[in-house]
A and B are shown apart, each in its own frame.
Chain A
Amino acid sequence: MEYGIFTVGDVTTDPTTGRTPSEYERIKNTVALALKAEEIGLDVFATGEHHNAPFAAPANPPVLLAHIAAKTERIKLSTATTLITTNDPVRIAEDYAYLQHLAEGRMDLMLGRGNTGPVYPWFGRDIRDGISLAIENYALLHRLWREEDVDWEGKHRTPLQGFTSTPRPLDGTPPFVWHGSIRSPEIAEQAAYYGDGFFSNHIFWPAEHTARMIALYRTRFEHYGHGTAADAVVGLGGQVYLARNSQDAVKEFRPYFDQAPVYGHGPSLEEFTSATPLTVGSVAEAVEKTLGFKEYAGDYNRQLFLVDHAGLPLDTVLKQMDLLGEVVAELRRHGSPEALAVSTGSTTVG
């Protein structure tokens, strides 16, 4: 089980001070966040890819990730997500293979379709082709990392004849790929077909829906002969705001929650935390809620937390990371073989 954080690099005004960070600050803060993630012992740092305000997330995540790779030693670098729809799969193949070399293999990537329709025409695409682009572009990407002299003809890009993408994947091993989707069964099917990972960023959604997407992916993973449904590689999003006690967490986070771009001005913080994976509370509460994800996702492989959005200033986020480190340490303890033996009531013979 891997634990980490993911960020979308939103430049949002801090509602408590009215201060808006510059893009320069936000980008440097993102690097600081990644270094902190390594310092507290997280397994994964993942960045989004966006091309529209208010996001200063890198338009090309490998640039950020290569920089972080040079400043870190252990942490795995990933994306959440790389746009498989509007990027040329040839560029994805080459950029991420290059990153794989620079990062000594400490990377993987998650493919997604993007957050808004207007992005598509900026790259000569049409959102109505979103699923079709995701399917076709990945079919090509998958081959480019596994074959040389690729002949290709599809609907969405110019044909290729005898093309070999460079550099080749490090040690001939293609980067591991996750497919992220909240509500499109086609993407769960795609992940299952290739035996890749499936990531559900369920942080803004009720559990029931997420459960069905993951169940579909697991069933189809087994159907395509990659292993049993339990072997399927599942990742989940999560979102926390932590304090030593619940009341302080709620008091501190409420102004950010009420103004947050995604859910602000809608349900109350209390309603939203009860309906979605968001935890606003103590370390123990975050641990309990996160352990509950297994009830509908089964045993899963990667847990990414969102900690740095809605205008939270860097010093607050870094303090959040220290508390998140405690959450993850506790989650790891629960996931250890000794803890599992205790929780299932079995005894260790030895």
Chain B
Amino acid sequence: MTSIVIVTAGLSDPSSTRLLADLLAAATARSLPQADVRVVELRPLAHALTDHLLTGFATGDLVDALEAVAQADAVIAVTPVFSASYSGLFKTFFDVLEQGALDGTPVLIAATAGTARHSLVLEHALRPLFSYLHAVVVPTGVFAATEDFAGDTLHGRVERAAGELAALVNARPATARLDQFDRDVVAMGSFEDLLNG
């Protein structure tokens, strides 16, 4: 089963970030009807994320959330804009995600803000972050200012981005995902390799 995980960092309830996440989820489900779509809200994980920064390991529901993202066939990442960038909570989640977890994973980036003047946040903050994490970032990112939720162009961009994400998922062979420990073991090679440096 194809697994799509939506990571959303909205803080309020109702949250326009969650609203955008839901629009993207619905559009993706239409494009990939066989997919299992799961939403990971970061707000309830905020304490566990801070603990992870301090202790180096995940606890409680965060274990499951990190595992779901690492095993996902595609990720939709949605953040509110805080001080001209992604929110700290959003970044913390991807800071504690194990190395290599998004290698080659198609990722759709999206952001919300009170004003359209932040729209390039997708290009100067989110896209470089996910490129660094070796994800395959969907060409169309979706930015929604408050006014966009009342306009008639957001829907088209959501459909287009979801379609591009679906195309990447369909083009990608399904392979078993190794976690960090298994990747480390594979990368280690034989002890003779280690001895020979």
Q: How far is the CA of A265 from the CA of B60 in the complex (A)?
A: 18
Which residues of chain B come closer than 8 Å to A186, judged between CB atoms?
188, 194
In the complex, which of the residues A189, A190, A212, A264 contacts B181, with contact meaning CB atoms closer than 8 Å? A212
B54 touches A266 (CB 8 A): yes
A342 within 8 A of B: no
B194 touches A189 (CB 8 A): yes
B194 touches A135 (CB 8 A): yes
Which residues of chain A come closer than 8 Å to B191, judged between CB atoms?
189-190, 193
A155 within 8 A of B: yes
Contact A185:B195 (CB < 8 A) given known A266-B55, A267-B55, A271-B51: no
Interface string of B125-169 (1 = CB under 8 A from A): 000000000000000000000000000000000000000000000
B57 touches A266 (CB 8 A): no
B50 within 8 A of A: yes
Interface of B is mostly: helix
Q: How far is the CA of A189 from the CA of B181 in the complex (A)?
A: 13
Q: How far is the CA of A262 from the CA of B50 in the complex (A)?
A: 14
A185 touches B50 (CB 8 A): no
B51 touches A267 (CB 8 A): yes
Which residues of chain B come closer than 8 Å to A265, judged between CB atoms?
54
- Contacts of A239-275 to chain B: CB distance below 8 A: 262-267, 271-272, 275
Which residues of chain B come closer than 8 Å to A205, judged between CB atoms?
56-57
Considering only CB atoms, which chain B residue lies closest to A136 in the complex? B197
Q: How far is the CA of A35 from the CA of B171 in the complex (A)?
A: 67
Which residues of chain A come closer than 8 Å to B15, judged between CB atoms?
none
Nearest chain B CB to A273's CB is how many angstroms away? 12
A209 within 8 A of B: yes
B185 within 8 A of A: yes
A132 touches B55 (CB 8 A): no
A230 within 8 A of B: no
A139 within 8 A of B: yes
- A residues with a Cβ closer than 8 A to B are 131-132, 135-136, 139, 155, 184-186, 189-190, 193, 204-206, 209, 212, 216, 262-267, 271-272, 275
- B residues with a Cβ closer than 8 A to A are 50-51, 53-57, 59-60, 181, 184-185, 188, 191, 194-195, 197
